[in-house]
Structures are given as C-alpha cells and as structure tokens.
Structure 1
Amino acid sequence: MANVQAGKAPYYFVPSLSRHPAMAAVALLLWGLGMAAWVNKMTPLGPVLVFGGLAMFLFVLYQWFGDAISESEGGMYSKRVDASYRWSMSWFIFSEVMFFAAFFGALFYARGITMPWLADPDYSGILWPDFRAVWPNAGPQGSVEPFTTMGPLWIPTINTALLLTSGLTLTIAHHALVVGNRSKTMFWLAATILLGAVFMGFQVYEYVHAYSDLNLKLTSGIYGSTFFMLTGFHGFHVTMGAIMLSVILYRLWKGHFTKEHHFGFEGAAWYWHFVDVVWLGLYVLVYWM
C-alpha cells in the first residue's frame, strides 16, 4: 500500500535484494511445524514454535511494509508501480472472495442440495433411522447436544447497521482526502475504526451468548460449524481491516499521502468495503434463512 510521488520516480522502480521473503518463509515454516507439534500434544515445543513463528512473521511484515513506505515517501514509485499495487490488491481481494465463496458454497450445498437429496424416499434413513431433512440438522439423536439457532435480532441487525455506517464514514473520509482536507479525513477515518471496534465487541458478546445461553458451539452439527466458520472468519477480516485503517490513520497523522496520490488509503478502503459486502451476504444467508 504505497504512496506515489509523481515526477520524482524512475521509469520503473526495481527494489534491491531483500531478506524479507526468506525470513517470512522461515517464520511460516516455524508456525506450521508448531501447529503440527501442538495438535500432537508436543508441549511446550508446539506453543513455543507457534507463537515464536507468529511473532517473527509480524516483525517481518513490520519491516517489509516499513521499507515499502520509505521507498514511496522517498519518491521511488511511479504511476507504473502504482498500477502494480492496484492490480495486486485487486487480485488479493478476488482471492478473498473465493475464500468466502467456499464457505458459502458449503452452507448452500449442505442446506440446498444435501438435505433435499436425502429427503428422497429412496434414500430415507440412509444415514440413520428416522432421519428428517430439516435445517438446521443436528444429526442422530444424542450425537449433538440440543441447541438454539442464532436469529437476526438484535445483535446481528445492529452489527449490520454499524458496518453499513462505517462504509459511509470511510467514503466521507476518502472524499475529504481527495479535496485535501486532512483533518476531516482523519476524523471520519477514526470514526470508521471505532465503528469496526464496536462491531467486534458485539460479536464477542454474541459468541458468549451463543455458548452460554443457546448451547450453540462449533460442534453443533453442520449448522454450528458453518455458522462459526463464516462469522468467525468474517470477524477476523474485520479485525485485520481495522488494523489496516489504523496504520493509514497513523500515516495521515505523520503527513503521508496527498490528494493526488494515496493508494495506501484506497487499498485499505477497498478491503473494508469488501468486508461490508461479505457481511450483507452473511446476514441474509446465515441469520435470516
């Protein structure tokens, strides 16, 4: 997410050799080995490798993005590099679209294809006696503890209003940056981050309510697994988006970006709007249907 200083940059900037890719690979290898050791109950080796690898990876990202920002503010990036960043962010968001499409596809397949197919008289009872093709399906009696599904009222609806409002405040911040009003940009960007934080607070409360009051868990059949996978990964993306916007806010405070060149802001805004759109689909398909 780099800023472009037009008129100062070379034809196309080629960075020098970097240690960052190799260090990131080592960090991810340590993390993967740690996860394998942890699930095989190799303690304390597993947790040490997991958190050590994660800490190393975050450190690498901090240095890597810092170098990119320094190159950008140093006037090394031309419009050609700017175009590369835009294409890269576009493909990254496309990969995220396909990521969520897989989980939405699993929900659709289980509810819209598998259930009607198993309701066919020829297959009735193929899984277990007295099988009923209803959603949510809790499996054979006694295999899953009774649970209550999560409805749209009221926390999911409040969270929908929060995310839609955050999209509006972010758009206002972008327009303010385009006209060169830095203070207004920072105010509305901070409001966007605050709305995202409140959203996550409500989601934490919703999870506590699901576990303690509804007995709804990740192990609550196909409904529980798809519910927590979709909402959990979305919450993770909201958290990452809020961190990205917080970095942009800090850079604005440091005097980065101009009204002509501010792709760092735009890239984070694209990501945030993508998160908003995913939530709308999740709100309808998971909470209402």
Structure 2
Amino acid sequence: MKKVNLFQPFHLVTLSPWPIVTSFSVMIMLVGFMNFFNNFDYLLMIFGLLSLILCLYQWWRDVIRESTFQGFHTNKVLEGVKLGMILFIISELFFFISIFWCYFHMFLSPSVEIGSLWPPKNIVVFNPYLIPMLNTLILLSSGVSLTMSHYSLLNSLKFKSLLSMFITVFLGIVFTLFQYIEYQEAMFTITDSVYGSIFFMATGFHGLHVIIGTVFLIINFFRIMNNNYSSSHHFGFEAAAWYWHFVDVVWLFLYLLVYYLIY
C-alpha cells in the first residue's frame, strides 16, 4: 500500500457548494439582464445579483478561513494562487486590447458610412483638460497611497496602512462619481455612431473595473483591521494592489488615446 505524506505542501480543497451555486446565480442574473433589456422587468436580475453576492460572500469567507486560521495556504499554494491572479490580469489585459483594437481600426481608417472622419461629424468630444485630467490625477494619486499602505503593512504599521488604504478607497469612489458626472454631461450617447459605442464600451468597462477594485480594497481594509494579514503573509492585499495598478495603467492609455489624442 502506498504511503501517504500527510505533510505535503499542497492544499486539497474540501467539498464546497459555492462553485455550482455561484454558477447558477450568474446564469439567473444574466437571464434577468436580458429580461430587463427586453421587458424592463428587473426583479429576476436583482434576485440573481443578490444570490451572487451571498454566494461570493460565503465562498470568500471560506477562503479567508482556510488561509488565515487553518494555515492551508502554504508557500507552494501561494505560488499557484499568484500564478492564477497573474493569468486573470493577463486575460483582462487582452479584453481591453480587443477594445483598443476596435478603436484603432476606426480611428486610423474611418469608414465612409461615418463620413471618413474621426471622430464622426456632430460628435462633441470631451475636453481632456477638465474631468478626464482630474480623474487621471485621482487614479495616479490612489496608486501612490496604495503603495504607501503596502509598505506600511510590510513594516507592521497597522494604523498607517489603514489610513493609506482609506485614502485609496476614497479616491476610487471620487473617480467613479466624476465619471458619472462626465456621463451626465456627455453630448453624445452609446447609440451615436461607432464612436459613441466604443467610447462608452471602453470607459464604461473601465469604470466597472474601478468599482470592482474599490470593493476589493474595501474588503482588504477590513481584513487589515481584523489582523488577517502579517508583514510576510498578505497575498490578498497584493492581489488587490496588482489589480488596482492594472486599472491605473489601462486608464492612462484610455486618457491618451480616447480623450487627448483626438481633441
């Protein structure tokens, strides 16, 4: 009989209902989206969203318990988790590359249907020196404060880490509010030619990523408060930081190409 090593460094995940239940929640939410778009009935969409939030809360609760209190996230496990996060960010990168590809396709060779002009005629573009410039400064500042929070955590300075994280979350929320104000003031909509479609697709999905990143950072704020992290074991924080810096870099390209270059 083969001898089993009880001290192997890998984490054998216990049986969990959350993957399958979360999948059904996502399906219900997306079916609800389609029902909302066609029939303006949002009840199924709200039900799916609430179910998804509940499932994710309990799933992530289990992961936090396994890593923090049960000690299952060894160095070998962390290598796999880090690789998974890197691959996830790369997949997000290619998602935005596809949007930029579409943008450059129309920017470099605008079709005759839109008058061979870019931006198309009667499209009033945004002034890049107003809200877009302010939002750029806000996001860059949030990257600085997040790095300060990380270094404070590395040096076991809990209060400074919490303060810097609070500033980062605040700046993320302010960015989202200014983006909303910009949408309110837009002189065109998502249905105004291919320019409107690409603009709101690019900035809208980036805004969604900012909201997700802000929630990610809020969770880390409470985890720091609850002493879930140490100076040597805090990959949850690092994953959030990687994601946030990725969002920062994408915004720089959005600002330069979608706002500044065509003004």
Amino acid at match of 1:88: G
Q: Is 1:56 the counterpart of 2:51 in the alignment?
A: yes
Amino acid at match of 2:66: E
Corresponding residue number in structure 1 for 2:3: none
Amino acid at match of 2:182: E
> Cα RMSD between the aligned structures?
1.6
Amino acid at match of 2:15: L
Moved over 4 A (4+): none
- Find the aligned partners of 1:248 and 1:72 in 2 and give their Cα distance: 14
Amino acid at match of 2:81: Y
Corresponding residue number in structure 2 for 1:83: 79
Match of 1:15 among 8, 13, 32: 13
Deviations 1:3-28 (A, max 9, x none): xxxxxx85211111110111011112
Corresponding residue number in structure 2 for 1:122: none
CA contact (8 A) 2:106 2:118 kept: no
Amino acid at match of 1:133: S
Corresponding residue number in structure 2 for 1:264: 236
- Find the aligned partners of 1:171 and 1:38 in 2 and give their Cα distance: 41
Shift of residue 99, structure 1, vs aligned partner: 0.8
- Find the aligned partners of 2:59 and 2:51 in 1 and give their Cα distance: 12
- Structure 2: 5+ residue stretches without partners: 1-6
Amino acid at match of 1:237: H
- Bigger proportion of residues as helix: 2
**1:36/1:202 CA distance change after superposition, 3 Å:** closer
Amino acid at match of 1:255: N
- Find the aligned partners of 2:221 and 2:38 in 1 and give their Cα distance: 42
Task: Count the aligned residue pairs.
Answer: 254
Range with greater deviation from structure 2 (49-58 or 236-245): 49-58
Corresponding residue number in structure 2 for 1:281: 253
- The structure with the larger Rg is 1
- Find the aligned partners of 2:163 and 2:38 in 1 and give their Cα distance: 48
- Find the aligned partners of 1:11 and 1:135 in 2 and give their Cα distance: 56
Equivalent position SS for 2:119: coil
Amino acid at match of 1:87: L
Match of 1:109 among 93, 105, 108: 105
Match of 1:191 among 148, 167, 190: 167
Match of 1:31 among 14, 29, 32: 29
Amino acid at match of 2:67: S
Q: Which has the higher contact order (CA 8 A, sep 6+)?
A: 1
Deviations 1:266-287 (A, max 9, x none): 0000000000000000000000
Taking the TM superposition and a 5 Å limit, the aligned residue runs for 1:102-251 are 102-113=98-109, 115=110, 118=111, 127=113, 132-138=115-121, 146-210=122-186, 215-251=187-223
Amino acid at match of 1:168: V
Shift of residue 234, structure 1, vs aligned partner: 0.7
CA contact (8 A) 1:163 1:195 kept: yes
Amino acid at match of 2:145: T
CA contact (8 A) 1:11 1:78 kept: yes
- Find the aligned partners of 1:253 and 1:208 in 2 and give their Cα distance: 37
- Find the aligned partners of 1:228 and 1:70 in 2 and give their Cα distance: 39
**1:40/1:200 CA distance change after superposition, 3 Å:** closer
> Identity of counterpart residues, as a percentage?
37
Deviations 1:149-179 (A, max 9, x none): 1120211001101111111111111111111
Amino acid at match of 2:60: F
CA contact (8 A) 1:10 1:78 kept: no
- Find the aligned partners of 2:134 and 2:31 in 1 and give their Cα distance: 40
Shift of residue 33, structure 1, vs aligned partner: 2.5
Amino acid at match of 1:229: M
Shift of residue 180, structure 1, vs aligned partner: 1.2
TM-score normalised by L of structure 2:
0.92
Shift of residue 30, structure 1, vs aligned partner: 1.4
Deviations 1:125-168 (A, max 9, x none): 6x4xxx73211125xxxxxxx44111202110011011111111
- Find the aligned partners of 2:220 and 2:233 in 1 and give their Cα distance: 13
- Find the aligned partners of 2:243 and 2:37 in 1 and give their Cα distance: 32
